Every structure is written in C-alpha cells, then in structure tokens.
Amino acid sequence: DAMVIQNPRYQVTQFGKPVTLSCSQTLNHNVMYWYQQKSSQAPKLLFHYYDKDFNNEADTPDNFQSRRPNTSFCFLDIRSPGLGDAAMYLCATSRAGRLQLYEQYFGPGTRLTVT
C-alpha cells in the first residue's frame, strides 16, 4: 500500500520554466516535509508544514515555494528553475507531538532535470 506518493516520478523542465511537484499521503500525519537531495549528499530540508504552519529553512532560496491545501497534499513550486536545481526532491511525512517526533517516512521522490 502506497503511503507517501509523489508525482511525477521524473520531471524534465526548461531553464526558467515553472514546475510543480506534488506529494500526497494516506498516513494522516500532521507534518509534511520537502527535501532536496543531490548525488552523494544527505537530504537537505527545504521547508516543512507542522499542521498548517509553514516553516521555511533559512537557506532555502526564494525560488522555492510550497503549498499545503489540506492534510493529505503538499506541493513544491519552483518558480524559475536553474541548472543547479536539478536534483531528487523528496517528500516525507511524520507524526509529531508536543514533546516527540516520530518516524519520518519518505515518498519515492521526483527526479528533476533542468535543460
């Protein structure tokens, strides 16, 4: 059973052409995350939603935006992709309480190519 679903799995876009990546979850987790991962590097957190609260990492470029219209869905918008934005984009979800963060589950990722 798919728990964290990402679409599309592969995305090719042109330099400067906006692109949207989507993530959905069936786990009813209250926290959703977007990571960027480049080859041989650790996942880099871009931002996350804790319930409806948006939390942006300090070094996430303004070019990256996110929307979470409801508990199940979250979107990553890249307004003007550059060649350096080519990467694997990972969505993850977690259940978090006031005092504890539980396991985080990743989707299969979207491989973004910028031409």
For the CB of residue 76, give the shortest distance to another protein in the complex, in Å: 15
Q: What are phi and psi of 83, to 5 degrees?
A: -60, -30
Question: Is 5 among the residues that bind another protein (CB under 8 A)?
Answer: no
Contact 90, 109 (CB under 8 A): yes
Question: Is 31 among the residues that bind another protein (CB under 8 A)?
Answer: yes
Question: Is 55 among the residues that bind another protein (CB under 8 A)?
Answer: yes
Vertex 17: Cα angle to 44 and 15 (nearest 5): 75
Per the DSSP assignment, residues forming a β-bridge with 57 are none
Q: Which is nearer to another protein, 12 or 101 (CB)?
A: 101
Residues in the site for another protein, rule: CB under 8 A? 31, 33, 41-43, 45, 48, 50, 55, 88, 90, 94, 96, 100-109, 111
